[in-house]
Amino acid sequence: MFTTKIKRAVHIDFHTLPGIDDFGLSFSASDVAGKLKDAHVDYVNVCARCNIGFSYYPTKIGTPYPDMKTDLLGDLIDECHKRNIGVTAYLNGGLNHQALVDNPQFLSVKKDGTVYGADRVNDNYFRTPCYNSGYRRYLLDEIKEILEKEPDGIFCDCMKVNPCYCPVCVSKMKEQGFDVDNDEDVLKFAHSVLKDIIKDIRDVVPADKRLFFNGHPCDDIYDCLTHVELECLTTDSQWWGYDFIAASAPYYRNFEGDHIYMCGRFIKTWGDIGGIKSRTAIENDVYDALMYGYVPSVGDHMHPRFGLNDNLYKTVSEIYEFVASMEEWTQNATPVTEAAIVRNKITYNNYLKQISDSDKGAARMLSEFKICYDIVNEDMDLNKYKLIVLPDNILITETLKKKLDAYDGKILSTGKSISKSKTWDYIDEYTDDTNTDGFYSFNGDVYAQYSNGIKMKSSFGVCDYIEPYFNRHYDGIHGYAYIPYKECEGYCSVALKNNHAHIGFNVFEAYLKYGAAFHRELVEYVLEKLLPQRLVDSTNLPNSSRITMMEKENGTILHIKTTYPEHHGSIGVINEHSVSKDVEIILDGEFKNAVAIPCRRELETEAVNGKTKINIPRICGYQAIWLQK
């Protein structure tokens, strides 16, 4: 869509509350743009109006920050353009507290008739707009005004489905046949309202400008986007965490346009102005971007008086200098994969769970096995993969059922991802597992499932389902919480026939939550049957390391990342890189040479019988290898 691709980006957050009496005192647009240029940044998202509701340019629509003396947005656009840095203007479409203070008629109404959330200090969403109010016109006029500053794009944040019970929304719901007393109907209506305002904004923004809506799944609104931008603060495990990218990046790279991974320099969350992650942690996030074929974007928050942090941008400069040195190999590379994890398409009633614990668990487990995978939905091509994985709770639609029945590769399904069809003809019968605790036999022992799913009967069962003595309950005297296993009553937990296997419980969700080695070993046993020959085999890299492969016309890139976070409470932390020595990698295919990049150091290789063995003396955090046949 755009001939000029983004290579190295920064997202400058800027949410500024009233009361900063020296706002912008040390601000210089030239200084900020100069720091960005020195940091090898070629694209930046700059705040035009924040979620508090203050505009950072002279405005006739909104409210400029009190006593603002400069045109912060306009000056930054001009100074960045002088340095060939593209600029997208950021505004928060779903939050604008000042506009709602000044125009309370714009407020959305909750089901209980209130307009405010309970936590007005820590919850940014305590005051939200209704898109069926005058706020719609306000927002569209505001975007038109921002476009007069000639940015290269618009980034509209927090575009979320927001059920509203204001008189206008209630009237419209009734007119359109929605049941106001049915939560699902109200959600469906709110979803349609959000998509309407997004289309209105798409009509306002010229086609030659970049446009991105953050907060709603990209695939549901992709006809209104110019690119994909994945936002993730990896240390913030409450919302994202280090499992997020592995469960989302391989999916969204299927969509056209630039693919940007917006990480952040924060420890806690956005606006943690004094929180700066270690250089190692920022490097790790940038490595993840490269591994999945994404452009890195470091999220920052500009100080309202002092501007950008000098030390941070020295770090970004050094990291982005490395990224630039890799671009002859990484630019326009496409993924090499052998498996696909299937996820359901986004609809109005599952948009909040577009990345589930099952998705994350499946992505984590395949990553630990060094299996190169994509993530796909039912509209995408399944036939190019050797293995299809249906994790835990995939709804088997008629479209998906037909594709699976026609697919002649290997299929691993788990939990309730099952249907009465040719694909599962090796399972004679199945029923929901209503036990509070189920068990399975494997390798001469009995293990807990830690999750529900189905019980099945199959003449191809390989692991028995073991019943509990009783379910969790209180009988008036005892609370039955200690559950021993009893015996098998004819059901199995795992069935496997030729190219197909089904594990009856939510093994991927359970693995993400509890990290049980016996769940990993069970899946590994099944995959050894289904996918014994893989693209990559590594005998001496730890489970926490990651491998992906990308290719160009003249060669293949092998990405190896050894760093992984340790957890401090609920926060993932990386303060130093993990080092692996004397690494041996065996690849499918015979490659004539392997070169460590960007240093161009030739590595010891041995190609024989369709395999190539590569010896890597040392990996500190990350190493990419260029392979040629």
Report the C-alpha gap between 572 and 235 in whole angstroms: 5
> Please, which pLDDT band fits residue 232 given cuts at 50, 70 and 90?
very high
pLDDT at 124: 83
Residue 181 pLDDT more than 70? yes
Q: What angle do CA 580, 583, 585 make, to 5 degrees?
A: 135
What percentage of the chain has pLDDT greater than the value 70?
A: 99
Q: What is the CATH number of the domain that holds 555?
A: 2.60.40.1180
Last residue of a domain, one of 332, 364, 388: 332
185 located within any domain = no
Omega into 598 within 30° of 0, i.e. cis? yes
Q: Please report which helix (H) or strand (E) contains residue 138, including its range.
A: helix 135-147
Residue 151 pLDDT more than 60? yes
180 located within any domain = no
pLDDT at 123: 84
pLDDT at 315: 98
Q: What angle do CA 269, 270, 274 make, to 5 degrees?
A: 80
Q: CA 339: distance to chain centroid?
A: 19
Residue 353 pLDDT more than 70? no
177 located within any domain = no
> How does pLDDT run across 549-597, given as a tens digit for each residue?
999 999 999 999 999 999 888 888 999 999 999 999 999 999 999 999 9
pLDDT at 1: 57
pLDDT at 103: 97
Residue 299 pLDDT more than 90? yes
Residue 11 pLDDT more than 80? yes
446 located within any domain = yes
pLDDT at 131: 98
127 located within any domain = no
374 & 522 share domain: yes
pLDDT at 507: 98
Query: What's this model's pTM, rounded to 2 decimal places?
Result: 0.95
Range from 195-204, 238-247, 371-380 carrying the lowest mean pLDDT: 238-247
519 & 555 share domain: no
276 & 386 share domain: no
Query: What mean pLDDT is predicted for residues 245-266?
Result: 96
Query: What mean pLDDT is predicted for residues 319-339?
Result: 97
346 & 361 share domain: yes
**CA separation (Å) from 214 to 43, 159, 228, 238, 509?**
17, 6, 9, 18, 26
Q: What is the CATH number of the domain that holds 303?
A: 3.20.20.80
> How does pLDDT run across 233-243, given as a tens digit for each residue?
999 877 799 99
33 & 92 share domain: yes
355 & 477 share domain: yes
- C-beta of residue 261 within 8 angstroms of C-beta of residue 249: yes
> How does pLDDT run across 35-88, given as a tens digit for each residue?
999 999 999 999 999 999 999 999 999 999 998 988 999 999 999 999 999 999
121 located within any domain = no
pLDDT at 346: 84
pLDDT at 472: 97
389 & 506 share domain: yes
pLDDT at 347: 81
Report the C-alpha gap between 164 and 327 in whole angstroms: 47
Instruction: Look up residue 243 and give its DSSP letter.
Output: T
Query: What mean pLDDT is predicted for residues 394-422?
Result: 97
User: What is the count of structural domains for the chain?
Assistant: 3
Last residue of a domain, one of 484, 502, 530: 530
What percentage of the chain has pLDDT greater than the value 90?
A: 91
Report the C-alpha gap between 516 and 579 in whole angstroms: 25
125 located within any domain = no
424 & 296 share domain: no
- C-beta of residue 111 within 8 angstroms of C-beta of residue 165: yes
pLDDT at 293: 97
Domain that holds residue 447: 339-530
Instruction: Look up residue 506 and give its DSSP letter.
Output: -
Strands (DSSP E) contained in 396-457 are 410-414, 429-432, 439-442, 445-448, 454-457
Q: What is the CATH number of the domain that holds 355?
A: 3.40.50
> How does pLDDT run across 493-545, given as a tens digit for each residue?
999 999 999 999 999 999 999 999 999 999 999 999 999 999 999 878 999 99
Q: How many CA atoms lie within 13 A of 418 on its CB side?
A: 28
508 & 549 share domain: no
33 & 57 share domain: yes
153 & 263 share domain: yes
359 located within any domain = yes
Angle at which helices 29-38 and 72-82 pack, to 10 degrees? 40
387 & 512 share domain: yes
Burial of 186 (0-12, 13-18, 19+ CB in 10 A): buried
Please give the mean pLDDT across all residues of the chain.
95
Last residue of a domain, one of 294, 315, 332: 332
> How does pLDDT run across 93-144, given as a tens digit for each residue?
999 999 999 999 999 999 999 998 888 888 888 899 999 999 999 999 999 9
Report the C-alpha gap between 153 and 48 in whole angstroms: 11
